[in-house]
Structure 1
Amino acid sequence: MDAGTNEALLEKREHRKASFIKEFGAESKTLWGLSGPAILTYIFQYSLGALTQTFAGQVGELELAAVSVENSVIAGLAFGVMLGMGSALETLCGQAYGAGQIRMLGIYMQRSWVILLVTACLMLPIYIFAPPILMFFGESAEISHAAGKFALWMIPQMFAYAVNFPIQKFLQSQRKLMAMAWISAFVLILHAFFSWFLILKLGWGLVGAAVILNTSWWLIVILQLVYIFYTKSDGAWSGFSWLAFQDLFGFVKLSLASAIMLCLEFWYLMTIVVIAGHLDNPVVPVDAISICMNINGWDAMISIGFNAAISVRVSNELGAGNARAAKFSVLVVSITTVLIGVVCMAAVLATKDIFPYLFTNSDAVAKETTRLSILLALTVLLNGLQPVLSGVAVGAGWQSIVAYINIGCYYIVGLPLGILLGFVFNFGAMGIWGGMIGGVCLQTLILIVITSSRNWDKEAAEAESRVKRWGGAIANH
């Protein structure tokens, strides 16, 4: 090979490298533009319940317990189901938007409203009979009755979830995330002031907490609807239509698959706290795990933001028939979030002797939290990639496949392994959490194999046929 050929090959390689870096930078900019407002929206909305909890804690211990239990168990269950069922719109709206079928988005949102409002009605017994349900799972009678009373007052919030999540996915698929972030920020500021005013200043206690939390969620819904109705969402909203009641069966199937997939993930790490409550002398391990879950919850908001961003990118590009762009977007987001995961893991390990004291004055709890920090570090590292791969699955419409994978990895492998290590081999809280991390690792590996082995041209063709199949009745209307 002569010098000229070598020079030409080197030049070609340098050109490819420069082209890759340029393309990577452009895709990163797009992903951060989507994930940034999504992260802010999720943090602001996550903070509504957290702020209410903080003010309730100023009233008394029982009030704090009532709000905490209702927030994490009763409302947490409703939140998981509604967000999961609403996630079907990420696939359908995203792919329709990518294909240029803008008018279909408004119909899809209305169909999702119908399904989620019916689901909210079916979930009413969980709110109405909250005390016996909580006592069945081992909660004390006093806390169960206080949380049950608060749950009855919080029924309007569940219906707000049913309307809100389809709106979010509708706006998200069109990349109108900044509007949601501004609305959530505005409502959070009002929420902070009126929580103080009603709960503490006027002394309304739990009644004030319920009034302001319900009002804040409905205010988010109303302001988002005003934004959609006023702007017409660039043609995506063309008014209410009877088409919302057509083809509901197929829509319900995809919504249920989305709900099962997301809820299996949402509840998985929550069960660690429940299982740890059955250990000998559970107060210290439960407190330590709760502190770690709190840190993990804030870290998860970053992952959920990227989950939303990659879901939009994959669904839009597949809907537009751009298989290569969808595949490249997956590569960029995977590299980005793994790097963020490494930084978060390093931060946890570097502060493992310090951060426990932000949450507790007990040396025993702080010591146990420090001991568990290695598992927290592994969890935040996995938070980098695992939710993003789930977002890819939602964008491509693989919800039912991932639901089966989650059942197998989480509940057939991870949970029994955690119980075995925690109780049979006496590793306690570390064993429970370690076993469950094993389930997350297995699920992540399987999703990596599926994502990297998929035929993306075939996925684009399937997205095209899905848009045609779901949009036929709308297009002909």
Structure 2
Amino acid sequence: MDPTPLVGSDYKSRSKTISIKIWQEWKKLWLLAGPSILIAVFQFSLFAITQTFSGHLGAVKLAAVAIGNLVISGIGYGFLMGMGSALETLCGQAFGAGQLHMMGIYLQRSWIILSVTAVVTCPVFIFAAPILRLLGQTAEISQVAGEFSIWIIPQYFAYAWNFPMQKFLQAQSKVMAMTWMSGICLAIHVIWSWLCIVKLGWGLVGAAITLNLAWWLLVLMQLVYILAGKCPGAWTGFSWLAFKDLYGFVKLSMASAIMLCLEYWFVMILILLVGHLKTNAEVYVDAMAICLNLDGWIVQVPIGFMAAVSVRVSNELGAGNPKAAKFSVIVTVLTSLVVGIAFMLVILITRTSFPVLFTNDEQVRKEVSRISWFLGLTIVLESVQPVLSGVAIGAGWQAIVSYINIGCYFLVGLTSAIIMGYKFNLGIKGIWGGMLLGFVAQLIIISIVTLRTDWNKEASTAQDRVSTWEKSTRDPVDEESFSNGTHITT
């Protein structure tokens, strides 16, 4: 018998099977990624809307708000969000392993740790003006940014409650509820911003008030959702167990914080470097702030994919399905890359027109148009990098990635930015070029780590982690305290 038809039939059958698997994974991905992208866009837009309104108050105030949000608030935002991302690993793997009762304890531990961290790091906001002056910013921008930073301290404490709840709900795939809450907060924020900044003329004070109100409204909505019993099994009430084994929880939280903070701080330092340029520093800061503002909106798409792949990987590893985890990584990376290339093309096509949306200053608009090529390349690189970071979070590789980020961002990226920007007098292009080199180096190394990963070993590690934390949460003493009623319910 001629074997050729059989071989062809096998090939078609295998291709069909793979296509079905890709389609099934793609549907699972988008069920998580679609709402996650909207959540990321809505929450980032709270900053972006404020900055957009502030851009029409003048160049100095735009620069002050940009530095206040990207530098001062960015320090706290990155650190607290990084610490909160420990819940993506723990809650995601616990959910996959069916240990739902542990998730509420993890949430409360994270609230405690992040709230204490917010108190300890709050002086950064209080002394923002002298810190920025010490970092070489102009006296005028430092003064205005320092005042704005003090006004947004309430927003900073909202982060300490928001991020843990966000990861807690995300691990259970309750992303649609989060989407609605974030969308409602954004709609109210737009109205508040117009009223306080434009109509009432409160300027930057109004901008700070609207940010504070928006973030605390989001916190209250999520808290009510959780306490109302919308997370059965995962939330069983407040418990003294939240104060148990905090040290182990802090270690994982710190590793997560360092991993993500290095990314935020890298961009923050580059903004400060632009402010040190000898000519047109204010114009360059405004131009880069606008580009990073737009990039911040667009990067929420891969951040949504990051959240989705983190849930998929942690759930599958927790459930002992390493092949499914690996397949999810491949599908997510390719999907995000295609979306990133599409955004880059849109940016390049509209590079002479989109700056009008952000500023009235002709000189700033021209500079934004001139560096749009760098923005486009950044968008493509960032379409993959956050997804691989999500894989790292889902698998619990935060400590490893922290070392990679230190080498790539600061030894490669920052050094290159200083040399090209100052030594070779390439200005903002040289500084941004250094940032791109840092991104490329980090992307290559994490890609190699991901490709060489033994997913069977990762699944075993995830199950061991869930088992270890479960034992530390429910020892015999704790079981007795539950039976005696010391577990506080709501």
Tell me which interval the TM-score lies in, with the shorter structure as reference length.
over 0.9
Cα offset for 1:21? 0.7
Q: Is the 8 A contact 1:87 1:255 kept in 2?
A: yes
Which residue identity lines up with residue 38 of structure 2 in the other structure? L
Counterpart for residue 392 of structure 1: 391
1:217 to 208, 215, 218: 215
Counterpart for residue 244 of structure 1: 242
Which residue identity lines up with residue 417 of structure 2 in the other structure? G
Counterpart for residue 150 of structure 1: 148
Q: Is the 8 A contact 1:59 1:200 kept in 2?
A: no
Q: Is the 8 A contact 2:63 2:286 kept in 1?
A: no
Counterpart for residue 294 of structure 2: 295
Identity %: 54
Counterpart for residue 309 of structure 1: 308
Q: Is the 8 A contact 1:232 1:238 kept in 2?
A: no
Mapped partners of 1:55, 1:291: distance in 2: 12
Q: Deviations over 1:53-112 (max 9, x none)?
A: 344456666655544432222222111111111001100000000000001000001011
Which residue identity lines up with residue 290 of structure 1 in the other structure? A
- The 4+ residue runs of structure 1 with deviation greater than 6 A are none
Cα 1:272/1:65, change in 2 over 3 Å = closer
Counterpart for residue 473 of structure 1: 472
The within-5 A match list for 1:64-103 is: 64-103=62-101
Q: Is the 8 A contact 2:55 2:358 kept in 1?
A: no
Which residue identity lines up with residue 302 of structure 1 in the other structure? V
Which residue identity lines up with residue 103 of structure 2 in the other structure? L
Structure 2 unaligned residues grouped into runs of 5+: 480-490
Which residue identity lines up with residue 20 of structure 2 in the other structure? K
Counterpart for residue 457 of structure 1: 456
Which residue identity lines up with residue 23 of structure 1 in the other structure? K
Cα 1:233/1:445, change in 2 over 3 Å = same
The within-5 A match list for 1:17-56 is: 17-56=15-54
Mapped partners of 2:472, 2:294: distance in 1: 47
Q: Deviations over 1:19-58 (max 9, x none)?
A: 1111101111111111111111111111222333344456
Counterpart for residue 172 of structure 2: 174
Q: Does the residue aligned with 2:371 lie in a helix, a strand or coil? A: helix
Cα 1:148/1:167, change in 2 over 3 Å = same
Q: Is the 8 A contact 2:93 2:318 kept in 1?
A: yes
Counterpart for residue 123 of structure 1: 121
Mapped partners of 2:210, 2:165: distance in 1: 21
The within-5 A match list for 1:287-366 is: 287-360=286-359, 365-366=364-365
Counterpart for residue 485 of structure 2: none
Which residue identity lines up with residue 423 of structure 1 in the other structure? Y
Cα offset for 1:282? 3.2
Q: Which moved more, 1:454-463 or 1:37-46?
A: 37-46
Mapped partners of 2:192, 2:361: distance in 1: 33
> Under a length normalisation based on structure 1, what TM-score does the superposition of the two structures give?
0.94
Q: Is the 8 A contact 2:89 2:314 kept in 1?
A: yes
Cα offset for 1:318? 0.2
Which residue identity lines up with residue 229 of structure 1 in the other structure? L
Q: Is the 8 A contact 2:322 2:459 kept in 1?
A: yes
Q: Does the residue aligned with 1:234 lie in a helix, a strand or coil? A: coil
Cα 1:352/1:200, change in 2 over 3 Å = closer
How many residue pairs are counted as aligned between the two chains? 475
Cα 1:338/1:49, change in 2 over 3 Å = closer
Which residue identity lines up with residue 116 of structure 2 in the other structure? V
Which residue identity lines up with residue 427 of structure 1 in the other structure? L
Counterpart for residue 435 of structure 2: 436
Q: Is the 8 A contact 2:52 2:358 kept in 1?
A: no
Counterpart for residue 235 of structure 1: 233
Q: Which moved more, 1:280-289 or 1:320-329?
A: 280-289
Cα 1:18/1:98, change in 2 over 3 Å = same
Cα offset for 1:335? 1.1
Q: Which moved more, 1:101-110 or 1:411-420?
A: 411-420
Counterpart for residue 376 of structure 2: 377
Cα 1:342/1:55, change in 2 over 3 Å = closer
The within-5 A match list for 1:254-293 is: 254-283=252-281, 284-293=283-292
Q: Which moved more, 1:267-276 or 1:331-340?
A: 267-276
Mapped partners of 1:165, 1:141: distance in 2: 34
Structure 1 unaligned residues grouped into runs of 5+: none
Mapped partners of 1:157, 1:166: distance in 2: 15
Q: Is the 8 A contact 1:414 1:437 kept in 2?
A: yes
Which residue identity lines up with residue 310 of structure 1 in the other structure? V
Which residue identity lines up with residue 33 of structure 2 in the other structure? S
